[in-house]
Amino acid sequence: MEKTFIMLKPDALQRDLAGEIIARLEKKGFKLVAAKLMRVSRELAEKHYQEHKGKGFFEPTVAYITSSPVMAMVWEGKNVVAQARSLMGATNPAQADPGSIRGGFAVDVSRNLIHGSDSVESAGREIGLYFSAEEILSYSKAGDEWLSE
């Protein structure tokens, strides 16, 4: 089953939106297989956003993501990377579908509540930054048989 990395950013936690966002992912049928509330170190933030190093928004992004706790999570499900991205909505909340997480709750592109891996490859890299293999659980849930064949 496919896995993706999702992070609730500092604004999601500061605005008490974690439960609402997690509920949306659960209601879609995805399974939470790892989670931790944590502070991101500068070193980890720089590794996470390494492809943006040198861009004008790199330093503000690193400062923001390290400013307050985040919730790092691994979710599992059929086509979870693409479907989670759809649930999140466009990076810029002004362009996000009103029914999406960002379209419904975010106000500014630099405070857009949530990060989700953009490909299976980046999901693997990001999961490895935040979780050891032992921290990712494998389990069955009642009702899984009703989600897919």
Active site residues per annotation: 115
**CA-to-CA separations, 97 to 35, 94, 106, 140, 141, in angstroms, rounded:** 27, 8, 11, 32, 30
Beta-sheet strands, E only, within the chain: 3-8, 31-38, 70-76, 114-116
Beta-sheet strands, E only, within 14-78: 31-38, 70-76
- Max Cα distance, the chain (Å): 47
